[in-house]
Amino acid sequence: MLRTLRRVVDRHRHAHGHYGWLFHPYTGEELVALAVQATEGDARLAEPLVIAAVRLRGDRILTSESLELRLAPTSGLDADTIRHHCLRGIDLDDGVGMDQALAGLLDFVGNRPLVSWRLDQELALINRQLRRHFGFDLPNAGIDLAQLYQRRQRHYHPQLEPVAPFERVAERLGVPVMGRHSALGTAVTTALMHLRLARQATPARHSG
């Protein structure tokens, strides 16, 4: 409710601005898979470190047109983050500023629908920065794979356990986990999982 309200306000406010087109409904057939690596700790204070996105068109994942933004961290990295993401300070030294990164992201994503594992968390990370720098949230339509998977599982096995972790789901779907510990790898894996789930929903189109 609050989010819808916010979006209406955003749209109204930015309709004639530079990013007004983002608020138009999308008519193409591409999607964008999104993954974010962030600093650890309090979710409300976490900052994105790497934002990766890759386009999907039909049954193709356009890895040749992918985006990987390394952000220069505003505060120092803590040890946990480094251990978890295998990212060190120097890996981010050539990172870009938040302004630039977000502009790049908006250009890449446009008004395409987003696909992500736990989309809410990823969006929260991005939107906090986006609102600070541009004054609006990402208005795109979104697909949360975790939710989609869980809904589908519940449909087939109503008494089943809560959602499995990302990598286990990938394994169940027969999707190889690409480039572990890299945001781009996660984005590509997410894209693959989405393809698989979308395929399974519709019965096999080809036979022969």
Partner 1 sequence: MVDVDLSHPPFSLLDDTGRERIRGGLDLAYYDRDEVILEAGQPGEYVFLIHKGEVAELDTSQPGESERIGHYTSGDLFGAISILNGQSRYRFRAEQETLCYLLPKALFTRLCDAYPAFAAFFHQRLAHKARLLSERRATGGISMADFMLARVADCMRPPLCLAEDATIAEAVRRLHEGYADSLLVTGGQGAGMVTKTDLLEALVLEDHEADSRLAPLAHFSLITARPDQYLFEVLVLMTRHRVERVVVTDRGSPVGVVELTDVLSHFSNRSHVVSLQVEQADDLATLAAASLRTPELVSGLMTQGVKLRFVMGLLAALNGRIIHKAWEFSIAERHRRASCLMVMGSEGRGEQILKTDQDNGLILDDELDWPGCVEQMAGFTETLVALGYPRCPGNIMVSNPDWVGTESQWKSRIARWVEQRDGDSLMKLAIMLDAHSVAGNAALLDGVRATLFEQASRDQLLLSYFARPVLHFSTPLTLFGSLKKPQHGIDIKKGGIFPIVHGVRVMALERGIAATGTLERLDALVVDGRLDGRVAEDLGEALSLFTQLRLEQQLARREGGEATSDIEPDRVVVQSLSSLERDLLREALHIVKDFKQRISHRYHLEYS
Residue closer to partner 1 (CB basis): 66 or 81: 66
Q: Please give the residue ranges that form the binding site for partner 1 (CB under 8 A).
A: 59-64, 66, 174-176, 178-179, 182, 184-185, 188, 191-192, 195-196, 199, 204-208
Strands (E) in the chain, as ranges, are 30-38, 48-57, 60-70, 114-116, 142-144
* Three-class DSSP category at 28: coil
> What's phi and psi for 51, nearest 5 deg?
-115, 125
* CB-based contact 51:126 (threshold 8 Å): yes
Of 53, 70, 71, nearest to 62 (Cα)?
A: 53
**Cβ 142 to partner 1 shortest distance, Å:** 21
If the CB atoms of residues 162 and 203 are measured against partner 1, the closer one turns out to be: 203
CA dist 75 → 23, 50, 103 (Å)? 33, 15, 21
Nearer to partner 1, 43 or 62 (CB): 62
> Are 30 and 56 a contacting pair, CB within 8 Å?
yes
- HSE-up of 65 (CA within 13 Å, CB side)? 13
Nearest alpha-carbon partner for 111 in 8, 201, 13, 31: 31
**Min. distance of Cβ 2 from partner 1 in angstroms?**
37
The distance of closest approach from Cβ of residue 206 to partner 1 in the complex, given in angstroms and rounded to an integer, is 4
Is the Cβ of residue 102 or residue 187 nearer to partner 1 in the bound state?
187
Which residue, 130 or 193, is less far from partner 1 as judged by CB?
Answer: 193
Structure tokens given for 132: 């600070």
Contact 105, 78 (CB under 8 A): no
CB of 187 to partner 1, least distance (A): 10
CB of 105 to partner 1, least distance (A): 19
In the complex with partner 1, the residue whose CB is nearer, 59 or 94, is 59
Closest distance to partner 1 from the beta carbon of 61 (Å): 4
